[in-house]
Amino acid sequence: MALVNYASREIGCKIVYYGTGLGGKTTNLAFIHERMPQENRGEMVSLATATERTLFFDFLSLDLGSVQGFKTRFALYTVPGQEEYNASRRLILNGVDGIVFVADSDPAKFRENVESLKNMAENLASYGVGMEDVPLVLQYNKRDLPGAVPLEHLQRALNPGGLPAFQAVAARGLGVMETLKTCAKGVLTRLG
């Protein structure tokens, strides 16, 4: 749930990066952390396993400047993509204001993408929230993979409603900021 604080003149919003394991969610956050000026971001917090797989979540706070005299502060989270960590994913979706769904373009991950999107809808429903209630942006990551799933196949399977979608190579930063900007804009527009 977004927070509008007249005392501190701040707006606080929560964006969650969702998707399959090893799909590039943490890579998105790491690039944003690297790209944003130090004065506009906090430190990136990662609760990860010894092999750097996300165990609980990654967290990054961003100050995206002011609108209407309010500082806009975004809390970015990733979820652990591995199937067995669904309880963690559900906890992290609590109070979400916007979602970036990171789909893996690897053909071997096609079915996992579909399952992950379905899982996200189920977890949102556990809070009484429908997919249409939250600004959702899709990111088709790893577009540089040889044999990447054609864009139209991904769109047909994951985005029949024509939500905003971006192609990305998060490891090189391509498409990362555009995705975040569109999601943040969607969140703030709903507040306005």
Give one DSSP letter per residue of the chain, joined into a string.
--EEETTTTEEEEEEEEEESTTSSHHHHHHHHHHHS-GGGB---EEEE-TTS-EEEEEEEEEEEEEETTEEEEEEEEE---SGGGHHHHHHHHTT-SEEEEEEE--GGGHHHHHHHHHHHHHHHHTTT--GGGS-EEEEEE-TTSTTPPPHHHHHHHH-TT---EEE-BGGGTBTHHHHHHHHHHHHHHHH-
Under rule CB under 8 A, residue 49 binds another protein: no
Indicate the residue among 42 and 114 with the shorter CB distance to another protein: 42
Answer for which of 51, 68, 147, 162 binds another protein (CB under 8 A) is 68
Residue 53 within binding range of another protein, rule CB under 8 A:
no
- Among 8-16, 23-31, 102-110, 114-122, the segment contacting another protein (CB under 8 A): 8-16
Q: Closer to another protein by CB, 5 or 144: give it.
A: 5
The site for another protein (CB under 8 A) is made up of: 1-8, 11-12, 14, 42-43, 45, 47, 56-57, 59, 61, 64-65, 67-68, 70, 72-73, 75, 77, 87-88, 91-92, 94-97, 128-130, 133-134, 177, 181, 184-186, 188-189, 191-192
